[in-house]
Structure 1
Amino acid sequence: MKINALFLQKKDPMKRFAALLICLILASCYAPERDCKAFKTGTFEFESFLNGELVTSRFIRNDSIEIDMFQGKSDTASVRWVNDCEYILTNLNPKNMAEEKPLQIRIITTEKDSYTFEYSLVGSPEKQRGTVTRVKE
């Protein structure tokens, strides 16, 4: 205890600076563990707000196709994995120009039965976040 108190005293600002620098370096090395491969296939749910109402979308994904079911309608998109934690969704049957633009999705963190992701239109700097939960059937 005496060593720590002496080390951080105001008498030696260089030692305080060195201790702070070491703490910052160690903190910057932290990266959350991600098991993205566990979420490449399966049935999932995504909740979001639409016009002020909480709605749930369910989708089934295999390695190359994702089928989204929302409000009694289904949509199919191709899935192209860029790496284990990033993929591009391209709507196979777009109904308008907005649906023609592919979505880029990046898994940020994973838990046992869910993951948090960041998504945007390909090429767009504006990103949004969401959380997906695996459905146990």
Structure 2
Amino acid sequence: MKKGIVALSLFGLFNCYQSERHCVDYKTGSFYSEITIDNVVYRSTFKRTDTLQVEVYNKKIDSSKLRWINDCEVVFKTINPKSMNDKKDIHLKILTTTDSSYTFEYSYVGEVIKQKGIAYKAD
């Protein structure tokens, strides 16, 4: 009985610390992102509508069609892929949000290895 009460108390305590995600705030707009891979920070800017994202990275423009799975998850499909990697769809999941940014993880669809990053509102 005591174990059940302790477990229930711990469950209630951890539930209090779950952060709310306001993903709808980030479905459209202008943003910039930062992703760190092997201690190198990669930055890009992008504009997003409900169905399209246009990104500028290293002075190159990349456009993707968007398919929202739910308010916090989206799949990107490159419009004019130039390589085999560009042909792979990317799954992005918003993990947490603040009033001006969101933390996300992404990977190629079907792959286990995920990267994390932060996107900030540019408006």
TM above 0.5, yes or no, is yes
**Residue of structure 1 equivalent to 2:87:** 100
Higher helix share: 1
**Residue of structure 2 equivalent to 1:25:** 11
Secondary structure of the corresponding residue to residue 82 of structure 2:
coil
Mapped partners of 2:87, 2:116: distance in 1: 21
Secondary structure of the corresponding residue to residue 20 of structure 1:
helix
**Residue of structure 2 equivalent to 1:34:** 21
Query: Is the Cα–Cα contact under 8 Å of residues 24 and 71 in structure 2 kept in the other structure?
Result: yes
Report how far residue 28 of structure 1 moved.
4.5
Report how far residue 24 of structure 1 moved.
2.1
Could you tell me which runs of 5 or more consecutive residues in structure 2 were left unpaired when the two chains were aligned: none
Report the CA distance shift for 1:98/1:83 in structure 2 as closer, same or farther (over 3 A): same
RMSD of Structure 2 on Structure 1 (CA): 1.8
* Number of positions where the alignment pairs a residue of Structure 1 with one of Structure 2: 122
- What are the residue-to-residue correspondences of 1:15-94 with 2, within 5 Å? 15=2, 17-30=3-16, 31-49=18-36, 53-94=40-81
Mapped partners of 2:46, 2:64: distance in 1: 10
User: Identity of aligned pairs, percent?
Assistant: 35
Report how far residue 103 of structure 1 moved.
0.3
Secondary structure of the corresponding residue to residue 29 of structure 1:
helix
Report how far residue 128 of structure 1 moved.
1.6
Amino acid of the residue matched to residue 34 of structure 1? R
Could you tell me which runs of 5 or more consecutive residues in structure 1 were left unpaired when the two chains were aligned: 1-13
Mapped partners of 1:133, 1:71: distance in 2: 18
Amino acid of the residue matched to residue 58 of structure 2? Q
Higher strand share: 2
